[in-house]
Amino acid sequence: MAKNFPTRAENFSQWYNELVIKADLAENSAVRGCMVIKPYGYAIWEKMQAVLDKMFKDTGHSNAYFPIFIPKSFFSKEASHVEGFAKECAVVTHYRLKNSPDGKGVVVDEDAKLEEELIIRPTSETIIWDTYKNWIQSYRDLPLLINQWANVVRWEMRTRLFLRTAEFLWQEGHTAHATKDEAFNETITILNLYADFAEKWMALPVVKGVKTESERFAGAIDTYAIEALMQDGKALQSGTSHFLGQNFAKAFDVKFLTKENQLEHVWATSWGVSTRLIGALIMAHSDDKGLVLPPKLAPIQVVIVPVFKNTDQLRLISEQVLPIKKSLEDRGISVKYDDRDTHKPGWKFAEYEFKGIPVRLTIGPRDIEQGTMEVARRDTLQKSVIQISDIIEYIPGLLDDIQQNLFERNLDFREKHTYRVDTWGEFVDVIENKGGFASAHWDGTSETEDQIKEKTKATVRVIPMDNPKEEGTCIFSGKPSSERVLFARAY
């Protein structure tokens, strides 16, 4: 079970790429830029989905499903959407194959050409707002709070497993409201929901804030985001919530009759998180020995490894282990008991450490005599000996500790890597040498932002929520500024 792969310090990027593959999370497919999400990786996504889905429903949202295809003309209806949104899309032009004349395969049937090309959805605002036009007539039809779990396609040229792939899985919420305030509140409700999910479930501290114009979603009035810091000091945008104003309602002519019998355009939001979150989870917590998963999202939370020389020993061990497994499962903890005799304990230790199982319990004949088990936690790699009689009480608290420790470790890392800088020299030092967030004054123009990006590859990640006002001068242009913003290089 030797997993030869680079350390984070040696090559963070390669460490990530190899970890994803060797831990059986995902792999590249035969189709350029598309990934296969393997069972272990998909199990993490299922856990994320279950939690988020419940959070959406608890806040009044329902799921629905809209077509994967979007007529090409729809993209042109919202001017800034078509202008700003990437045009790298998969385009369907034909609807039939036929046997090739040489009898050796199939070819595209040129007689089956679509009148209008269809685009595989890169995001669904256009097709959904075209649908909402028929669903919304009166204030009684509002708010409309809908979410969709779906696959989307953006023809990225440089792809990386989970972080940037041509096809990915996500959820996209699309809501319609009677007033600007209500739509704005929805935008912020979801931003907070995403932040809660990241912090409480992924153990990932995030900064909430609003994007600058250049990082705004094409078609939005404002884009809010949660940003997390990875172990290499680069930021990762982990979720976005867009206040769309009346832009899409106007583009698709969606009006409603108010209580006062006035015809007005509807207010909108959209928001999403994707399988990219799995990439964030890996890069935030894992180490040179492999994956580290927060207990709340780990597909297996506890693994029990018996150490035995013969079937009699295994039988004695299993007599102790099976009731413990059952008791833990009754408390909602997922437990794997690996009693295979085809692999040695040492192989199993390495395997489960590499796969990031939060807690490993080991029990052998001597433990049975002494009524103890060895407990190893994955986050700190610490081992301790616990009385078997105490184990059921001990494990839930230990899982909570691990969850909390991962969060605090990451928060501590972020605090140590968030620098207040006031000069261009300090700024460059943070971005190029230290890594992390540079909290700096900026003159508020896209021109300056572009030039900073060109020189350092750093962008404004967010203008944090409730950002304190502070007079200062832009670290690049020297022009006046009224608040600091967070810069970083980003995924």
Q: By CB under 8 A, name the binding residues for a second copy.
A: 27, 29-31, 34-39, 42-43, 45-46, 62-76, 82, 87-99, 104-109, 117-120, 127, 130-131, 134, 140, 146, 150-151, 153, 155, 167, 169, 342
Closest separation in Å from C-beta 334 to a second copy = 12
Say which residues have a Cβ less than 8 Å from residue 242's Cβ, sequence separation at least 6. 187, 217, 219, 220, 222, 223, 224, 269, 270, 271
Could you give the 3-state DSSP secondary structure of residue 260?
Answer: coil
User: Which helix (H) or strand (E) covers residue 265, if one does?
Assistant: strand 263-265
In the complex with a second copy, the residue whose CB is nearer, 70 or 440, is: 70
Closest separation in Å from C-beta 348 to a second copy = 15
In the complex with a second copy, the residue whose CB is nearer, 1 or 107, is: 107
In the complex with a second copy, the residue whose CB is nearer, 69 or 394, is: 69
Residue of 241, 171, 161 lying closest to 208 (CA atoms): 241
In the complex with a second copy, the residue whose CB is nearer, 110 or 330, is: 110
Closest separation in Å from C-beta 351 to a second copy = 14
In the complex with a second copy, the residue whose CB is nearer, 70 or 321, is: 70
In the complex with a second copy, the residue whose CB is nearer, 63 or 387, is: 63
CA geometry: angle at 96 spanning 91 and 97, to 5°?
105
Residue of 35, 55, 58 lying closest to 47 (CA atoms): 55
Amino acid at 229: L
182, 183, 184, 185 alpha-carbon torsion, rounded to 10°:
50
Cβ atoms < 10 Å from Cβ of 363 = 23
The burial class, CB within 10 Å (0-12 / 13-18 / 19+), for 467 is middle
User: Which helix (H) or strand (E) covers residue 49, if one does?
Assistant: helix 39-58
Closest separation in Å from C-beta 314 to a second copy = 20
Identify whether the C-beta of residue 64 lies closer than 8 Å to the C-beta of residue 148: yes
In the complex with a second copy, the residue whose CB is nearer, 70 or 191, is: 70
Residue of 268, 180, 280 lying closest to 239 (CA atoms): 280
